[in-house]
Amino acid sequence: MRNTWIVTYDICDTKRLRRVFKTCKGRGMHLQYSVFECDLDQQEKADFEASLHKEINDDEDQILFIDLGPAEGRGNRVIHAIGLPYYSMDAPCYAL
């Protein structure tokens, strides 16, 4: 069974940040600068976590996986923004 996950990260080093972004980009939909929505089964999640773990420093960085439940049978995704309006992040993200 596939679950929908919100994956968000706080990476302290620019080089690691770029590598984490590239790893996430292939796994889900880019919602904000460091936020992705990913539909993953258990094996895909384990592989994703292992890939990300190789890129971070455990003493400085943090990646959160937030389980939104089963991917199938859910209603349409609704995103409500406060402040700037939400828009799809199809444009590339650049870390300075």
Judge whether 83 lies within some domain: no
Look up the domain containing 9 and give its range.
3-69
Judge whether 88 lies within some domain: no
pTM, rounded to two decimals: 0.82
Residues in Cβ contact with 30 at an 8 Å cutoff, skipping those fewer than 6 apart: 24, 36, 89, 90, 93
Residues 26-80: tens digit of each pLDDT? 899 999 999 999 999 999 999 999 999 999 999 999 999 999 989 887 767 777 7
Task: Spell out a b/e string for 7-31, using b for 16 or more CB atoms within 10 Å of the CB, else e.
Answer: bbbebeeeebbebbbebbeebbebb
CATH value at residue 25: 3.30.70.240
Domains contained in the chain, number:
1
**What angle, 0 to 180 degrees and rounded to 10, lies between the N-to-C axes of helices 42-53 and 14-25?**
160
Paired strand residues for 6: 37, 66
